[in-house]
């Protein structure tokens, strides 16, 4: 029973990591391709895979808490320089699923 709990926690952490990486990637793409460097929460949620949806709010909160993304109004988000660096690190050190 304890082993099942541990593997479920690892799966949840991996899934959350994937959602965070997805958000960072979307924000970096937005910054690179548009004059408006922010992207709204609605646009982000529309592009989510259904499996990612339950972890989306937690991912946003975690990324803001880590200063990897920023929002002045709580609705539109931008990636920070630290967020860009983190995304680059995550791509280099991909976590096996």
pLDDT in tens, the chain (97 residues): 444 444 445 566 788 999 999 999 999 998 888 777 899 999 998 988 888 889 999 999 999 999 999 999 999 999 999 999 999 999 998 755 5
Ordered by start, the domain boundaries in the chain are 14-92
Which structure tokens are listed for 34? 């548009």
In the CATH hierarchy, which top-level class contains the domain 14-92?
Answer: mainly alpha
Model-level pTM?
Answer: 0.81
Say if residues 70 and 78 touch (Cβ distance below 8 Å).
yes
3-state secondary structure 13-68: HHHHHHHHHHHHHHHHHHHHHCCCCCEEHHHHHHCCCHHHHHHHHHHHHHHHHCCC
């Amino acid at each position: 029973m304890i082993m099942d709990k541990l593997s479920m926690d690892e799966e949840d952490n991996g899934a959350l990591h994937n959602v965070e990486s997805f958000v960072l990637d979307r924000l970096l793409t937005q910054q690179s391709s548009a004059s408006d460097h922010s992207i709204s929460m609605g646009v982000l949620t529309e592009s989510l895979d259904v499996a990612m949806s339950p972890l989306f709010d937690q991912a946003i909160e975690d990324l803001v808490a880590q200063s990897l993304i920023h929002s002045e109004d709580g609705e539109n988000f931008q990636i920070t320089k630290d967020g860009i660096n983190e995304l680059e690190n995550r791509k280099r050190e991909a976590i096996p699923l």
